[in-house]
Structures are given as structure tokens and as C-alpha cells.
Amino acid sequence: MQQNNGLDKNQLISFMLFSALMLGAMFYFQSREEAKAPAPVEQTASTQGAAPTMGPQASNSGASPVKVAKLENNELRLEFSSLGGQISRVELPGYKAYNQAQDEANLPLYLIDNGSASYGFEFKDRAGRLIRTKDLNFQPTVQGNTLTMTTQVQGATIQFIYTLLDKYTVDFKVRTSGLGQVSSSSAADFKWDYKVRAVEKGRSQEQTHSEFSYAFDNYSSYDYDGRTGMDETEETLNWIGVKQQFFSSIIESKTGFVGSKGNQEIVEEGEYLKTLNYSGQVAMSANELNQDFSWYFLPLDLKLLKSFDKNFDEILPLGWSFIGTMNRWFFMPLYNWISSWGITAGWAIFLLTIIVKLILSPIMFKQHKLSAMMRVIRPEIDEVNEKYKDADAMKRQQATMEVYRKAGVNQMAGCLPALLQIPIFYALFRFFPNFIDLRGESFWFAKDLTAYDDLIKLPFHIPFLGEHLSVFAIACTAAILIYTMLTAGNIQQPTAPGMPNMKVLMYIFPITFLFFLNTSASGLSWYYFVSNAINIVIILVIKYLILDEKKIHAQIQANKAQPKKEGKFQKRMREMMEQAQKQQALQQEQLKKTQGKKK
């Protein structure tokens, strides 16, 4: 099962550099039918019982007049066009879209508007001519929360019946009569063209999260496609959707779509982010197109998505395997529990960070104790390096490991906390920009914790940074630099010629992190600022109040005096080094013999 990688180009480059540096440092030491009415009308209905209203609507470039019908409830406000009998506007009144001009989320949130999406069915008549429902004019009739669109084509009747339901759902039935006399097709093509409207603050982040998503194998399997082309001709899709960062438009077929293909293109600027085009087929029985569908225009709220039992919850890119499980069963419930206390989102993240730190505190304490012990034996390590500076690297490493063994220092114990931080980082990287409960939540100078803060605006563009500097990202970078300064003394510098200075690499890492965080969710930067600030406090407390380096030195000396049982890992490493030394000696001996024969 795949998941959206969630990275834009700049973040991807920064993240690759960040991962390479982190892993390197750790182990070195992501047609038209005329209308019957003479004048255009507008029809409106509400599921709450409002009476239909009529009004004029502009004609379609001098052609048959276009009528607009409306259905509305507390969750959706929909408009339907008589041209094509299709949904022409979708508004979610419970949410607002970002207004770039005012730097506020105060605009109506339209998933579809001004012709940004169109759909319809296509089939051929018996003369081989293509009939497209997008081109036909329908007559709308509203009754309660149901809208019926009716049209005639070559004597056949086509009806689109829409019923607005709860939970952001629109029941969509297609009924035909007499179509078998017009068409000989056994299947109809369904075409859906969709332009993703920009409704969030971070354009590149929202653009990256916009893609096809779909389920198959009777709703049990899910996949997505953020690439240029989509080809699922071998599968029967239960539903196909266009996913955005926090919302999705989905159409479900009760019999399934076959022969599915699609393509998408990035739009570099303007009100649209991407254009997506989908084509699939639905069956026609006895040459009639009688099919049941459902439209869903959903906020990507995990609880809501799971309530449908159609694998919609997989649309939310929380991460694969263990990463997604950590978000679903730990970070989301923990945040919801904290926020139920009535505190703001920023302080909820602050408390969440502290709780995570408390859970990891036993392991972190061992790591900091190990750092103190390594600082104490640093002079002995330097002495070994000096003693074996002219020897081969393997002998020098073997002697160094012997010092650690006698002192009772397990170097691998320091890797465990770092390894634990990797899945936590990935989980949080998915959590903050995709958790809809944080959408629009402000904290200090960050107006939306799911997007970057841009308090510092730049008059020019900096590659990989953009035209702003995130204050939270800068604060986080500064905290990581201070933490690095406090721990860099424990880094062993390779003595072999040409090897990079590990301490320099450790200082480069925080700078790389700035490029990565500057366009990321400000909630993520705030979390890691708090996390690293706590790390700094812990180091200072342990160094000056808890651990006595003189006592540690005395303990190490006592460890040396006692016979030391060799651990399995140390034994394996020693045996590998001894075997490598034997192999090296054998190769040198064979080389000498070969050279002697040549002479």
C-alpha cells in the first residue's frame, strides 16, 4: 500500500541532504437539445425545507439558455448546470479558503467553481456519431432535496437524478429510456476533467498533496498516483477521487469503473495547482445506461473517512506501516485528548512534546550518561589514536574498541535513541501538514500551523528557501545548533588522511534543516524547537546537577580493574576484525610472493 511522499521539490532535495548527513554521521561513527422554456430560470432547493426560487441566468454564448439549480444543507452548497446536467459548484460552508491578498483564511471554500471541473458520459449512436452528455441541455426539476435533470437525444430520454444526503454525500443515479434504439454500445465512457483550486497557504505543499486516489478489489485495496500518467486498465475501480491537502472529490460507481486511465499536469501559477483528466468505462445493460453512483466532497477528517467503510481513510497520507499506525493510534488521539482541555493548538503541541519526551526519558537519560562517559575517556581515546597513528586503521579501531570495552561503554547504546527519533520524525512530518484539526489554527505569528509562517518576508527569492524566512524554522535551527555545540565534543574525528571532519558535518546538518523546515508546517518546526530546547535543558541538568564526571571516571577505572565479560556484539566485531586482519596479512604475503617470482 502506497502513500503520498508529501515532499515538494525543494523539500525533497533538502530532505535527501538531511537524511544523508544524519545517516552518514550515525553509521559512520525521503447535439445540443433545445430547452423547452422560453426564458432562463434558476432553481434552488434546500434539504432543510426552503422553497425553490426562480431567477434569470445568463445564456451560454448566445446558445440555449443555461439554467442553474441549487441544493444545500449544513455541509454542502451545490449548484448544477443545465448544460451537461452536471455539478458546477461545490462549496463547503464549514471551512474557509486562504486569501493570499489579505493573508487570511476568509474566502468561501469552493472545491469546484467557474468551470474548474466537468464530467459526463460518452457513447456512439448507431451511425457511429459520438454523443456526449456534457454537450446536452437538461431541464432541471427540484423536489425537496432531490434534483432531476432530464434531456432528450434522438428520441431517447436521459435523466440524472441527484439527491443531497448527509455526510457530504450526493446520491447520483443515471436513468435512460429508449437509448437502446439510439446506441449499440455495451459500455459508456466516463470522462472527468478537474482543475485543483488553491485553497491553502502553502502552494508547493498543497500542490504536492494533489493527486489521483482510488480503491479496487471490492474496496479492500487502495492506491494513489501523483505522477504524470495513471494506468489502471487491469483493475475495476470502486471509486476514483481527486485528493487535495485537506479535501477530496470522489465519485463511486456501484458496478465499478474499468479501463481507467488518467493524466495530470502541474500549473505553475494562478488559482489552479494541477489539472487532472480521468477516463474510465461503465457498463450498459441492453444498451441502456442505468447506473448508480455517489459523489463525495469530503474534508479529510479521519473519523469521518473511516465511517464510510469504503477505504476512504487511506486517502489521508499519514505514512506507511508503523509510521501511519503511530499517527493513527498515538499522535492523533494524544493531541485530541490534550486539546479537549480547552487550550490552544500551539500549547497542545507544546504539551504533546513534553509527554513524548517523558516517554522517551529513560532511553534519553542513558544516551546522555553515555555521552558523559565518552567525554571522560576522551583522553584515553586520543592516546590510542596517537599510539597507532602510523598503524593500519583496523588495528587502531581494534585498540579503540578495547578501551570502550574495558571502560564498560557500549557505543551502540548511543545509536538507539537516534534510531527511535527517525520513525517519530517521519510520523510527525506526516502528522502536522495533514491533520485537519490543526488547519487554520494560529499560534503567535504562525497563522496556520499546517503551513509555514512567513513573518519575515524577503524582497527576493532564495533557492530552496523561497521569499520568506520562517521564525519557527529559524528558532528550531538555533536550538539544534546549540544542542550540537553541547554534544559535538563526543564526536570522534577520523584520523585517516582525506577523511571529512565529522564535527563540521554536524554543524552543517542544522543549516540543512533550516532549508527543509522553512516551507514545512510551522507546527512541525514548533514541535522540534520545543523538543531540542528540552534536550538542551536535560544536558545542562545532567551535566551540572545529576552526573558527577569524577565519579564516572572512578567507575570506569573500577570497571577496568574487573574482568570484563565480552558481549555478543563486541565478540562478533572482534572476530570480524581478526578475520579481516588475517585476510589482509594473507593477501600481503601472496603479493610479496608474486612480486618475488617476477623478479
pLDDT in tens, 457-476: 888 878 777 788 889 989 99
Pick the residue with more confidence: 73 or 585?
A: 73
Distance of alpha carbon 533 from alpha carbon 554, whole angstroms:
31
pLDDT band at 567 (very low <50, low <70, confident <90, very high): low
The answer to whether residue 304 scores a pLDDT higher than 70 is yes
DSSP for residue 136 = S
Burial class (CB in 10 A: 0-12, 13-18, 19+), 591: exposed
Query: Could you give the angle at the alpha carbon of 255 between the alpha carbons of 127 and 320, nearest 5°?
Result: 125
Distance of alpha carbon 97 from alpha carbon 104, whole angstroms:
8
Return the bridge partners of 248, or none.
Answer: 243, 298
pLDDT band at 117 (very low <50, low <70, confident <90, very high): very high
161 grid coordinates: 437524478
228 grid coordinates: 504524470
CA dihedral sign, ordered 214, 216, 220, 224: negative
Distance of alpha carbon 106 from alpha carbon 98, whole angstroms:
6
Render the burial of 385-405: b for 16+ CB within 10 Å, e for the rest. Answer: beebeeeeeeebebbbbebbb
Pick the residue with more confidence: 362 or 583?
A: 362
Pick the residue with more confidence: 508 or 50?
A: 508
The answer to whether residue 348 scores a pLDDT higher than 90 is yes
Pairing of strands 211-216, 237-243: antiparallel
Range 474-486 average pLDDT: 87
229 grid coordinates: 500518467
Distance of alpha carbon 249 from alpha carbon 213, whole angstroms:
10
Taking all residues of the chain, what is their mean pLDDT, rounded to a whole number?
80
Q: What are phi and psi of 524, to 5 degrees?
A: -65, -45
Longest dimension (CA), the chain: 109
Q: What are the distances in angstroms from CA 425 to CA 370, 430, 432? A: 23, 9, 11
The answer to whether residue 436 scores a pLDDT higher than 80 is yes
> By three-state DSSP, how is residue 316 classified?
coil
Pick the residue with more confidence: 579 or 190?
A: 190
Pairing of strands 247-266, 229-232: antiparallel
Pick the residue with more confidence: 283 or 589?
A: 283
Residue 296 one-letter amino acid:
Y
pLDDT at position 301? 94
Beta carbons of 112 and 89 less than 8 angstroms apart: yes
Beta carbons of 253 and 239 less than 8 angstroms apart: yes
Pick the residue with more confidence: 529 or 563?
A: 529
pLDDT band at 48 (very low <50, low <70, confident <90, very high): very low
Range 376-402 average pLDDT: 72
The per-residue DSSP string of 566-577 comes to: PPHHHHHHHHHH
- Count how many Cα atoms sit within 13 Å of the Cα of residue 157 in the half-sphere of its side chain: 8
Strand runs (DSSP E) across 409-559, as ranges?
456-462, 466-469
* Residue tagged 556484539 (cell numbers): 569
pLDDT band at 558 (very low <50, low <70, confident <90, very high): low
Distance of alpha carbon 360 from alpha carbon 330, whole angstroms:
14
Distance of alpha carbon 254 from alpha carbon 310, whole angstroms:
12
The answer to whether residue 2 scores a pLDDT higher than 50 is no
The answer to whether residue 332 scores a pLDDT higher than 70 is yes
pLDDT at position 49? 37
Distance of alpha carbon 171 from alpha carbon 132, whole angstroms:
21
Among 222, 226, 224, CA closest to 274: 226
pLDDT at position 303? 93
CA dihedral sign, ordered 313, 318, 321, 326: negative
Distance of alpha carbon 358 from alpha carbon 119, whole angstroms:
53
- Residues of the chain with pLDDT > 90: what percent? 39
Distance of alpha carbon 595 from alpha carbon 71, whole angstroms:
91
Could you tell me how many residues make up the chain? Answer: 599
Which range scores top for mean pLDDT: 36-50, 166-180, 456-470? 166-180
Range 64-86 average pLDDT: 93
C-beta neighbour count of 457 within 10 angstroms:
10
